[in-house]
């Protein structure tokens, strides 16, 4: 997706923002545009209070002078604006390609509304082509991976799984100090059942299926940005 399209989706989502709102700030290259746009408004005197979904986003927001808080200091958020790796027509999502899924899900769940910004290539009929990120505890990693493999078998996964590496070839570590297993399902026909099965594995901290959390999406196309509600 070109930076122009990402920025268009982010700009469209700015129409949802009102003075005084408490806003969850997403992570990823599309959400980064939204934070830039919000920062420009804050520089002009716009008032808001924000919770970032990653250390990267927190650093960006601080650099722009966006006032930050935590979910320990406020009782909820009005809206979260975040990217996604896949979105279906029922607003179910796969997230976590950027490795921030745990905080993204905590923030989305604490928000009255979650709005996705993306290009329309992220819109799919069925989730699962994008490998599902699963955040796992380091303790008992092999046992957790075996249990994930069992669930993949039960759900007829078409592909395998990999422990995520960073660009230097080292194991990727999340902001919460966990690893990520990327599981290629190919096609996820029952996201709720898969979510429950994965969360039953003790070593699974969280996974990137966002079910019934998102209510709207701004999807950018070369012909303009469309809103799905
Ligand atoms: C975050 O950024 C993630 O949940 C998702 O994996 C990713 C989308 O990235 P991008 O906007 O760069 O495509 O929202």
Per-residue pLDDT band for 9 (boundaries 50, 70, 90) equals: very high
Decide: 128 in ligand 1 pocket, CB within 6 A. Answer: no
> For residue range 33-60, what is the model confidence (pLDDT) as tens digits?
999 999 999 999 999 999 999 999 999 9
Q: For 200, how many CA atoms within 13 A lie in the half-sphere containing its CB?
A: 9
Decide: 26 in ligand 1 pocket, CB within 6 A. Answer: yes
In Å, what is the CA distance from 82 to each residue of 3, 32, 47, 213, 217? 16, 9, 20, 12, 9
Residue 1 pLDDT > 90, yes or no?
Answer: no
Query: What ipTM score was computed for the predicted complex, to two decimals?
Result: 0.96
Decide: 28 in ligand 1 pocket, CB within 6 A. Answer: yes
> For residue range 151-199, what is the model confidence (pLDDT) as tens digits?
999 999 999 999 999 999 999 999 999 999 999 999 999 999 999 999 9
Per-residue pLDDT band for 107 (boundaries 50, 70, 90) equals: very high
Decide: 97 in ligand 1 pocket, CB within 6 A. Answer: yes
Residue 139 CA to ligand 1 centre (angstroms): 27
- The DSSP line for 82-146 is E--SEE-TT--EE--TTS-HHHHHHHHHTEEEEEEEEEGGGB-SSS-SSPEEEEE-STTHHHHHH
Pocket test for ligand 1, best of 30, 56, 117, 130 (most atoms within 8 A of CB): 30
Sign (positive or negative) of CA dihedral 202, 206, 211, 213: positive
104 carries an active-site annotation: yes
Percent composition of the chain: helix, strand, coil (DSSP 3-state, to 5): 30, 25, 40
């Amino acid at each position: 997706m070109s930076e122009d399209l990402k920025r268009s989706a982010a700009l469209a989502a700015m129409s949802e923002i009102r003075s005084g709102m408490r806003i969850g700030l997403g992570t990823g290259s599309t959400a980064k545009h939204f934070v830039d746009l919000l920062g420009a408004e804050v520089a002009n005197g716009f008032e808001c209070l924000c919770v970032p979904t990653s250390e990267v986003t927190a650093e960006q927001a601080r650099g722009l002078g966006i006032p930050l808080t935590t979910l320990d200091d406020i009782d909820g958020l009005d809206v979260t604006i975040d990217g996604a790796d896949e979105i279906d027509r029922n607003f179910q999502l796969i997230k976590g390609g950027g490795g921030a899924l745990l905080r993204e899900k905590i923030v989305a769940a604490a928000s009255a509304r979650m709005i996705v910004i993306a290009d329309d290539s992220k819109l799919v009929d069925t989730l699962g082509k994008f490998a599902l990120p699963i955040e796992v505890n380091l303790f008992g990693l092999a046992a957790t991976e075996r249990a994930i493999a069992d669930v993949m078998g039960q759900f007829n996964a078409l592909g395998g799984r990999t422990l995520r590496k960073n660009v230097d070839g080292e194991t990727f570590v999340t902001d919460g100090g966990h690893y990520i297993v990327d599981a290629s399902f190919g096609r996820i026909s029952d996201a709720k059942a898969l979510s429950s099965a994965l969360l039953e594995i003790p070593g699974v901290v969280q996974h990137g299926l966002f079910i019934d959390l998102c209510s709207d999406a701004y999807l950018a196309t070369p012909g303009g940005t469309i809103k799905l509600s």
